[in-house]
Amino acid sequence: MANEKLVYMDHSATTATDPEVIQAMLPWFSEHYGNPSSLYRLARESRTAIEDARKKVAVAIGATPEEIFFTSGGTESDNWALIGTAFSHKKKGTHIITTAIEHHAILHTCEYLKKQGFSVTYLPPDESGKIQIEDIRAAITEKTILISVMFANNEIGTIQPIHEIGHICRERGIIFHTDAVQAIGNVPINVTNMDIDLLSLSGHKFYGPKGTGALYIRKGVRIDSYLHGGAQEKRKRAGTENVPGIVGLGVAIEKAVHDQEVKTKRIRDLRDRLLERIFTEIPNCRLNGHKTDRLPGNINICFEFIEGESLILLLDHAGIAASTGSACSSGSLEPSHVLMAIGVPIEIAHGSLRLTLGHENTEEHVEYVCKELKKAVEKLRAMSPLYADYMKKRQ
């Protein structure tokens, strides 16, 4: 039965928690369950575990442990970074620059900030998904307090020139935030060399537990608290720490950046093979995103004449997990804002497929996905009036 097989190619959505990560987390549930804020030994163990994890996160991104603040994930980190910076700097200015292709955790937070009286510039990317440095320079005004540009895009995988953007921000005295949720473990990151002031990361994207994350806040950067309450996280982020989650996050990020180059090369090679196979076997498709500056596991393709949700359903039937930017998949009316922003024609954007490869994928998976994808596309094209018209025109 095809259904019993699972080929998971949706690693940008989430990843399976690494068994070693789970093992590391387990003792912190019912064995060492002390509240890190308490005073006895049981509690001190929890405190030490958190500080160990903090060091690991710091090392992974080139920060110091004092600059790492644990959160509940990418969404909270993004919200905190934007709202905390905006409110703490509003005397200086009320203008924020971001991009049209950010995750909704950024875009919807910006919409909220607009309601609070801030103004937001959304920079359009070029057709590969890259933000132009000149556009950033041109958008900066006297009132600009914050620039937020994602490190790598979750849909099309395009990697931004973060170092250059960081440099401009530092020069102009503007706070620079990057949503690096998709980049950790995939792209070398050093917050110090790259002039990054704030960075969001999320555990479940690199084989860590869901609901865990961190915000890097460069020493000296002023940012309001977002969650108010107890004195945890140096009074910046209240709430009893998710000790098992934080421990898991620490182990996961340490593993993610260990031998990163070797591991990502393997995934990139697999991805390139799959891409080549798809383009040889299936006509009328186009790659979205940048040819080279993209996440190693990312494929985003539009298949003409068919719609993405039906493609996902057929792949699911064959035991393949993938995703689409089609409107029908999300319950919204518009296809993906990212595909729209890079200028993919709307009727073609409905036929997009995202495959994101990860550590457990093999050459066998690549072969299987290519074979099933070809079958699925052919099946849907055979019932598509657009394809029928196209074939008639060609005759």
> Mind telling me the catalytic residues?
328
Q: Which of 284, 337, 386, 390 binds another protein (CB under 8 A)?
A: 386
Residue 377 binds another protein (CB under 8 A): no
Under 8 Å between Cβ of 343 and 294: no
Residue 346 binds another protein (CB under 8 A): yes
Under 8 Å between Cβ of 105 and 129: no
CB of 248 to ligand PLP, least distance (A): 13
Under 8 Å between Cβ of 70 and 214: yes
DSSP 68: E
Decide which of ligand PLP, another protein, none touches 383; Cβ closer than 5 to 8 Å per partner kind.
Answer: another protein
Of 38-46, 102-110, 225-233, 322-330, which segment contacts another protein by CB under 8 A?
322-330
**306: which 2 tokens?**
């068919």
Of 95-103, 342-350, 353-361, 362-370, which segment contacts another protein by CB under 8 A?
342-350
CA distance 224 to 72: 17
**Which residues bind to ligand PLP, rule: CB under 6 A?**
73-75, 78, 103, 105, 150, 154, 179, 181-182, 202, 213
Residue 288 binds another protein (CB under 8 A): no
Decide which of ligand PLP, another protein, none touches 307; Cβ closer than 5 to 8 Å per partner kind.
Answer: another protein
Q: Which of 249, 251, 301, 306 binds another protein (CB under 8 A)?
A: 306
Residue 5 binds another protein (CB under 8 A): no
Instruction: Calculate the CA 369 to chain-centre distance.
Output: 23
**19: which 2 tokens?**
């068994």
Decide which of another protein, ligand PLP, none touches 327; Cβ closer than 5 to 8 Å per partner kind.
Answer: another protein
CB of 369 to ligand PLP, least distance (A): 22
CA distance 123 to 211: 30
Tell me the β-bridge partners of 175: 146
Angle between helices 41-61 and 243-257 (to 10 degrees): 30
CA distance 299 to 157: 8
**23: which 2 tokens?**
């093992």
Residues that bind another protein (CB under 8 A): 305-307, 309-310, 313-314, 317, 326-329, 331, 333, 335, 346-347, 350, 382-388
